[in-house]
Amino acid sequence: MGAMNLKFIRAYRKVDIDEVKEHLMICGDLSASCSKCKCMTVKLDMTNCPECRTDFRYMTFRNIRDNMHKMLRISDSHKELMVVDFDDYKRLTGEAKAKDFFK
């Protein structure tokens, strides 16, 4: 068998959204932030938040198309991180906020 042809493809898996929210690095065009404490000084190569010390297990990109090169680089150096879709994350956390609001 020849060299592996590794590419990113979307796949779906059930996850606890609260677990994701506690350990998510949200990456933008210029910087990243911690979903748990909202720290804005997170660097893409960090494995823990500099403020709350949570370990990052998940990462998402606000604009994946423009940041695919970053995702490729980070996924090679941090194989333990699971990439989640930002739109899915926002939709699910928004649904949870709405349910809490109407309780």
Under DSSP, is residue 83 helix (H, G, I), strand (E, B) or coil? Answer: strand
What is the span of the domain harbouring residue 30? Answer: 17-101
Please tell me the pTM assigned to this model.
Answer: 0.83
The answer to whether position 63 is within a domain reads yes
The answer to whether position 4 is within a domain reads no
Contact 59, 24 (CB under 8 A): yes
Say if residue 75's pLDDT is above 90: no
The answer to whether position 59 is within a domain reads yes
Task: Provide, for the chain, the percentages of residues in helix, strand and coil under a 3-state DSSP scheme, each rounded to the nearest 5.
Answer: 30, 15, 55
pLDDT tens, position by position, 17-74 = 999 999 999 998 888 999 999 999 999 889 999 999 999 999 999 988 888 888 888 8
Count of structural domains within the chain: 1
